[in-house]
Amino acid sequence: MKKIEEMIKKQVYDLLEKEEIKCFIGFEKGQLPFYSPPAFITEAGQIERLIWDDFCGANLSKYLLNAVVKPGEKIGLAAKGCDSRGILRLIQDNQVKRENLIILGVPCRGMKDVSNLTVEDNFNQLPTMEKCLACTNPNPVIYDFLLDEKVEANPQKRFLKVEEVEKLTLDDKYAFWSGEFEKCIRCYACRNICPACNCRSCYLEQHRVGWHGKAVELAENANYILTRAIHVAGRCIECGECERVCPAELSLSTINKKIIKDINSLFGEYNAGVNLEDKQPLCYYHSDDPDEFR
């Protein structure tokens, strides 16, 4: 980790010094030893702020959506597997251009879960984040420099929760999801962190049109969460950030993973945001597509 950190610092120093990038998005040390929030570095003199440790779990790709660059300027960023898939998502959705990016790829062994710390916890012995235990692509899928050796994927928990819920009876499923949706406080953090949620103006905020009410109740909450799930269907890159950021601990990636599992069984294995050339199964029609309604 320390070695990766040094390599990031050196690369970023060179890139900024040679004015090849305008800004670098990485991680810095936060208020507490187990917090490593995103950092924006614009001068070579600031590179000492950059770090790489077990707590760099956030997906940085969404920040590219708001990065302001003039023509010809580039942005650099550190990318784990999930970040790189987010970047690919944004490129595929025509939100950023590949040629405007310099990506420092970092193969990832999984980051630590700091969401439920108490003072008694030893922050050197924290569990790995759930989302990392479901990760199919720990290695960056797109990069300019690779800073470490590639690691093997071990997505042991990828569909675990989905399979658990699938086994429930219809009534139990309804009860389970109602219980989840009822917890939602409508902070929209899941939408705001999601690289697949890259609309510049969200239907949720078009109150005059009245797509969506502000009432925080089961029906409106479910409407929000399910609409978002359908909107990112076939485009979700499985970074699990929606679930990580959710303060109310909704089992959000279970919905997305269920859709992915269904897509895989209906249209063949497809991992969104892994290959730029892949055709997205929900965006193309093939005459041999399943047609259950006939």
Partner 1 sequence: MKAIKNLLVPQFIDALAKDMHLLAPVKKGNNVYFKTWQSGMELEWRRNSFLPPKDLFFPQMDLLYKYSILGQNGEIQELTQSEGPRAIVGIRNCDLKSITLLDKVFLSEGFEDPAYRHRRDNTVLIAYNCSKPQPACFCTSLGINPQGGEGADLVLFELEQEDLGKEEKFSGPGPDYGIEARTPKGEEILKKQRDYVHDTHKKAVPFQQCPLSFGTDGILEKLQEMFEHSLWDDLSKRCLRCGICTYVCPTCHCFDIQGKNAGEEGFKYRCWDSCMFSDYTLMAGGHDPRPTRMERFRNRFLHKLWFYKERYGEFLCTGCGRCLSKCPVHLDISYVAGKIKEAVVDVR
Q: Provide the minimum distance between the beta carbon of 286 and partner 1 in the complex, in angstroms, as a whole number.
A: 38
Interface residue with partner 1, options 4, 245, 263, 274 (CB under 8 A)? 245
- Residue 189 in contact with partner 1, rule: CB under 8 A: yes
Q: How many CA atoms lie within 13 A of 42 on its CB side?
A: 4
Chain-centre distance of CA 259, in angstroms?
A: 16
Dihedral angle over CA of 13, 17, 89, 158, nearest 10: 0
Interface residue with partner 1, options 115, 136, 223, 280 (CB under 8 A)? 115
Candidate segments 9-17, 183-191, 272-280, 282-290, binder of partner 1 by CB under 8 A: 183-191
Interface residue with partner 1, options 117, 153, 230, 276 (CB under 8 A)? 117
CA distance 165 to 173: 7
Q: Provide the minimum distance between the beta carbon of 127 and partner 1 in the complex, in angstroms, as a whole number.
A: 12
CA neighbor of 24 nearest in space, from 97, 88, 80, 79:
79
- Residue 37 in contact with partner 1, rule: CB under 8 A: yes
Q: Are 92 and 273 in contact (CB under 8 A)?
A: yes
Phi-psi sector, 71: left (phi>0), alpha (psi -120 to 50), beta: beta
Structure tokens at 241: 């950030």
CA distance 150 to 81: 10
- Residue 82 in contact with partner 1, rule: CB under 8 A: no
Q: Provide the minimum distance between the beta carbon of 66 and partner 1 in the complex, in angstroms, as a whole number.
A: 8
CA distance 137 to 237: 10
Interface residue with partner 1, options 142, 244, 252, 256 (CB under 8 A)? 244
Site residues (CB under 8 A) for partner 1, limited to 123-182: none
- Residue 50 in contact with partner 1, rule: CB under 8 A: no
- Residue 186 in contact with partner 1, rule: CB under 8 A: yes
* Residues forming the site for partner 1 (CB under 8 A): 30-32, 34-35, 37-40, 58, 62-63, 66, 115-119, 121, 185-189, 191-193, 205, 207, 213-217, 241, 244-245, 247-249
